[in-house]
Amino acid sequence: MKYILITLLPILILFSSCKDQTKNNHFDITPEKIDFEKEIMNDLFLKIVDTVSFKQMYLPPPKHREKSTEAQDTIKRVIMVDSVYAVDKELINQLEEFYDTKITLPNNKPGYKFDYKIYSENKTYNFIEASEAKLDSIWNVNPNNVNGIIYFSRIQFDDNNKFGALSVGFGAGPKAGRGFIIFIKLKNNKWVIDKVTSIWVS
């Protein structure tokens, strides 16, 4: 019995070591991937908002003012920002087809809370979280004195982290909503918007 224990002990130690290493890899790599994704999202977010909202959608005219000044022409517009949601299968299929690539590591992790407050000093938009606005419907935005609500998915990358895509929706009213897929790519060591494809209209 003593001989058996001595023989099995190195195997048990090796197994335990591999198990711990796998566990450590899981917890070490995942935060890095999330940070990598968030960093790209932070760089592209304002460009995405500008692309899918005010350049694409009809917005009600601003309230009448007695004087027209340059400052009035650059009034901050309020966008409702909510949590980032998980990637779906359709987005993965679109990414594979657009870049003729294969996704073997789908980003099926749950969404996360997006820190919109880092954009508080931008000169164009005033972001408010959807939960703070207490909307009775995501489409009922105009009575709340906002221009629209934007929501988006996490980014799905290809296996080499050279291409990516995310889903984005923007609603400015019951019959003023659109959904997009934003294709992004790494160009000169910087992530840029490659193409914006409309996928639904309301």
pTM given for the model: 0.73
Across 87-91, 102-106, 172-176, which has the greatest mean pLDDT? Answer: 87-91
Tell me: the pLDDT tens digits for 122-178?
A: 888 888 887 776 665 555 655 556 778 888 999 999 999 999 999 999 887 777 788
Q: Which residues contact 94 (CB under 8 A, 6 or more apart)?
A: 165, 181, 197
Q: Which residues contact 134 (CB under 8 A, 6 or more apart)?
A: none
- Section 22-39 average pLDDT: 61
Tell me: the pLDDT tens digits for 32-44?
A: 788 899 999 999 9
Strand partners, 136: none
Q: What percent of the chain has pLDDT over 90?
A: 32
Q: Which residues contact 70 (CB under 8 A, 6 or more apart)?
A: none
Give the position of tokens 């309301």.
202
| Least confident range of 5-19, 44-58, 97-111, 166-180 | 5-19
Q: What are phi and psi of 17, to 5 degrees?
A: -65, -45
Alpha-carbon Rg of the chain, whole angstroms?
23
Would you say 151 and 78 are in contact if contact means Cβ atoms under 8 Å apart? Answer: no
Q: How far apart are CA 126 and CA 128, in angstroms?
A: 7
Q: How far apart are CA 20 and CA 66, in angstroms?
A: 70
Give the per-residue pLDDT at 187: 96
Q: What are phi and psi of 178, to 5 degrees?
A: -145, 150
Give the position of tokens 């910087």.
190
